Chains A and B, each alone.
Chain A
Amino acid sequence: GENVEQHPSTLSVQEGDSAVIKCTYSDSASNYFPWYKQELGKRPQLIIDIRSNVGEKKDQRIAVTLNKTAKHFSLHITETQPEDSAVYFCAAALTGNQFYFGTGTSLTVIP
């Protein structure tokens, strides 16, 4: 099955700086890669996703890049704000099948 690894497990950045979280996956058949933000005790919320036919996607301060050859994808958050503090999960999936989640990254943005 699919195996998703995520790094780092914790990340602290100063407000206004950028944050980068990286994930690798093992199954080359995976073609959908969402990123979720989860605040304590709440449901995961989709913040951005990318499909295998695209190399990069951007939505305001958030961007995701995908390298299919290397089987890794990254989340980039620019101009970080305190409200960006949360746990972020990456996932890999084959369309219509279950998600395989990374282990999560706890991001703290220091004001």
Chain B
Amino acid sequence: GAVVSQHPSWVICKSGTSVKIECRSLDFQATTMFWYRQFPKQSLMLMATSNEGSKATYEQGVEKDKFLINHASLTLSTLTVTSAHPEDSSFYICSAERGSGDEQFFGPGTRLTVL
């Protein structure tokens, strides 16, 4: 199959701290990974497209200095929420594209709660 994992699954942090979320493709190489944010009972909002070895492409309205993305290898992309505030509390989901196919495989998501 095509398995994508995320770590941590849930994190609670104090306001002002930074949180790193990892997204890994376990059994395939992913040149492209995507980061989404999902508020309760709402749709997935694309935050950025992460390409291995290059800078991420951010969607309009997403602060690149706030949400740092690193895609250092073909199996790992990280999202760092810097100086987190309560309004950053959300469900963050990554997905990975296998080869040049259409399908994206989603990670299980990370629930971030900022106190």
Chain B: CB-nearest residue to A32: B102
B32 contacts across to A, CB distance below 8 A: 96
A97 smallest CB distance to B (angstroms): 8
Query: A51's contact among B102, B106, B108, B111, by CB below 8 Å, is which?
Result: B102
Q: Are A49 and B102 in contact (CB under 8 A)?
A: yes
Q: Interface residues of A: mostly helix, strand, loop or mixed? A: strand
Query: A42's contact among B45, B100, B102, B109, by CB below 8 Å, is which?
Result: B109
A43 contacts partner chain B, Cβ-Cβ < 8 Å: yes
Q: Please classify how large the interface on chain A is, using the bins under 10, 10 to 19, 20 to 34, 35 or more.
A: 20 to 34
Query: A101's contact among B44, B100, B107, B109, by CB below 8 Å, is which?
Result: B44
Given the known A-B contacts A41-B109, A42-B108, A42-B109, are A101 and B43 also in contact in the complex, defined by CB atoms under 8 Å? yes
B108 contacts across to A, CB distance below 8 A: 42-43
Q: How would residues 73 to 115 of chain B score, 1 for a CB under 8 Å from any chain A CB and 0 otherwise?
A: 0000000000000000001010101001011101111010000
Q: Interface residues of B: mostly helix, strand, loop or mixed? A: strand
B41 contacts across to A, CB distance below 8 A: 87, 104, 106
Given the known A-B contacts A101-B43, A101-B44, A104-B43, are A44 and B93 also in contact in the complex, defined by CB atoms under 8 Å? yes
Task: Name 24 A/B residue pairs within 8 A (Cβ), A-sorted.
Answer: A32-B102, A34-B102, A34-B103, A41-B91, A41-B111, A43-B93, A43-B108, A43-B109, A44-B44, A44-B93, A45-B106, A49-B102, A51-B102, A87-B41, A89-B43, A95-B102, A96-B100, A99-B34, A99-B104, A100-B46, A101-B44, A101-B45, A103-B43, A104-B41
Binding site for B on A (CB under 8 A): 32, 34, 36, 41-46, 49, 51, 87, 89, 93, 95-96, 98-104, 106
Binding site for A on B (CB under 8 A): 32, 34, 41-46, 49, 91, 93, 95, 97, 100, 102-104, 106-109, 111
By Cβ-Cβ distance, the 3 closest A-B pairs, closest first, are A43-B106, A32-B102, A43-B108
